Amino acid sequence: MMIQFKPFDKQDDHDYEAYVAVHNAVWPNSKASAGFMRRFDDSAEPRFLNERLLAFAADKPVGAIHFGHNFEQDHPQKFWFELIVHPDYRRQGIGTALYERMSAQIAPHDPIAFESSTRENEPDGIRFLEKRGFELGARQIVSYLDLGTFDPSLYAGMQQRAAASGVEILTLGAYMAREPDYVRQIYDAHHEAERDVPWYEAGGGVSFAFFARQFEDNPDFLPDCYVVAVADGQCVGLSELWGSEATDKKLYTGFTGVRRAYRGHGVATALKVLSLTNGKKRVAANGQPPLVETQNHETNPMLQINLRLGFVEQPASLVYVKRLFKP
Ligand SMILES: CC(C)(COP(=O)(O)OP(=O)(O)OC[C@H]1O[C@@H](n2cnc3c(N)ncnc32)[C@H](O)[C@@H]1OP(=O)(O)O)[C@@H](O)C(=O)NCCC(=O)NCCS
């Protein structure tokens, strides 16, 4: 079969749609949207490489790769990629060809590390990465909570416990209305807490500009679901709960973190309970509240909080890393 490889045109909506078609065939339970991808590309900092390539069989998009600097590590020689091939078009060399094209484009940057990820129930992806010298860096437990069965009344005491320690738990929507500097406030709390997230190596964290962009013109930003903790005149914690332009049946919990000095008072649990309570009010077109998906490193204490709230484990996400040691 004739396969054609095409550079990605970030001005062309069809290219985003082609990427989404492959993505959704490979990961039907984690659907992507063209809008999300476009916003990601638009907000990528120019100093970082951020590229995509597509593979077509006749006119059908069958493979794609998204690659660039691992901007969370913020290192000029560390890279990241997502490689996907439609299940019906595997074992024909499409994945290898995309991988090699990426490698050639990155080679001038003298890469020292590549990171990628797959799922525990994706043997094709695991084999592909391990055969090419990748090693497991982190096992991220994926879990789901069905908000249809989530009963906020069971956790009412959590809010009181946090309040008793002088910490106010509120939606970001309410915080935005009273704190003009809310982005900086949240970013600083995020930055402090992020350093304690278990990971296979220390990272630099996302930039302020990238962080700020999440709140602008973003249909996945839900001001009633994103929640913050405030004490002593500053933001001391946050919990992200994002919508999905791709489906109204799913919400995604992102980062949850509490500044060190405010830990041990139930603040993280209270944040989660408020965001899930408000998430439950968002009924999908099928009449049901959405499912919340999240990921935690297997040693992250947040995992135990989530399991107590009723999250149920799914096949884990496996983060693989390949280090290139130069003589
Ligand atoms: C990983 C993935 C992208 C590979 O795509 P692919 O197009 O099947 O990749 P290739 O065909 O180049 O290589 C896959 C295997 O097929 C073999 N192969 C290639 N051409 C072949 C052919 N004509 N006949 C038989 N086997 C062939 C390759 O040698 C390779 O074998 P190996 O893994 O044992 O080394 C695909 O499995 C996938 O999308 N998985 C889900 C997403 C994922 O987990 N990605 C991981 C990185 S982000």
Residue 180 pLDDT greater than 70, yes or no? yes
Domains in the chain with CATH codes = 3-111 (3.40.630.30), 143-318 (3.40.630.30)
Which pair of tokens denotes residue 25? 């065939």
Residue 83 CA, ligand 1 centroid: distance in Å: 10
Q: How confident is the model at residue 241 (pLDDT cuts 50, 70, 90)?
A: very high
Q: Looking at residue 323, what is its pLDDT?
A: 95
**Cβ of 91 below 6 Å from ligand 1:** yes
pLDDT digits (tens, 9 = 90+) for 217-233: 999 999 999 999 999 99
Spatial CB neighbours of 96, under 8 Å, sequence gap ≥ 6: none
β-bridge pairing 291-297 and 135-146: antiparallel
Q: Looking at residue 326, what is its pLDDT?
A: 60
Q: Looking at residue 192, what is its pLDDT?
A: 94
Residue 125 CA, ligand 1 centroid: distance in Å: 7
pLDDT digits (tens, 9 = 90+) for 83-140: 999 999 999 999 999 999 999 999 999 999 999 999 999 999 999 999 999 999 999 9
What rounded mean pLDDT belongs to the chain?
94
pLDDT digits (tens, 9 = 90+) for 28-60: 999 999 999 999 999 888 999 999 999 999 999
Q: Looking at residue 156, what is its pLDDT?
A: 83
**Cβ of 30 below 6 Å from ligand 1:** no
Spatial CB neighbours of 254, under 8 Å, sequence gap ≥ 6: 240, 241, 242, 294
pLDDT digits (tens, 9 = 90+) for 261-311: 999 999 999 999 999 999 999 999 999 999 999 999 998 888 998 999 999
Q: Looking at residue 243, what is its pLDDT?
A: 97
pLDDT digits (tens, 9 = 90+) for 4-18: 999 999 999 999 999
**Cβ of 26 below 6 Å from ligand 1:** yes
Contact 32, 246 (CB under 8 A): yes
Nearest CA to ligand 1 atom 40: 125
Average pLDDT over residues 233-261: 96
Nearest CA to ligand 1 atom 33: 128
For residue 266, report the phi and psi dihedrals to the nearest 5 degrees.
Answer: 80, 15
Q: How confident is the model at residue 73 (pLDDT cuts 50, 70, 90)?
A: confident
Contact 272, 309 (CB under 8 A): yes
Instruction: Tell me the three state secondary structure of residue 139.
Output: strand
**Cβ of 178 below 6 Å from ligand 1:** no
Average pLDDT over residues 64-77: 92
Q: Looking at residue 37, what is its pLDDT?
A: 96
pLDDT digits (tens, 9 = 90+) for 187-219: 999 999 998 888 888 776 788 988 999 999 999
For ligand 1, pick from 62, 90, 135 the residue to mutate: most ligand atoms within 8 Å of CB.
Answer: 90
Q: Give the residue among 142, 131, 136, 61 at the shortest CA–CA distance from 99.
A: 131
Residue 36 CA, ligand 1 centroid: distance in Å: 27
- d(Cα 22, Cα 30) in Å, to the nearest integer? 12
Q: Give the residue among 158, 193, 148 at the shortest CA–CA distance from 302.
A: 193
For ligand 1, pick from 5, 82, 88, 91 the residue to mutate: most ligand atoms within 8 Å of CB.
Answer: 91
For ligand 1, pick from 23, 66, 82, 96 the residue to mutate: most ligand atoms within 8 Å of CB.
Answer: 96
β-bridge pairing 250-258 and 291-297: parallel
Alpha-helical segments (H) within 55-93: none
Of residues 179 and 298, the one with the higher pLDDT is: 179
**Cβ of 94 below 6 Å from ligand 1:** yes
Residue 100 CA, ligand 1 centroid: distance in Å: 12
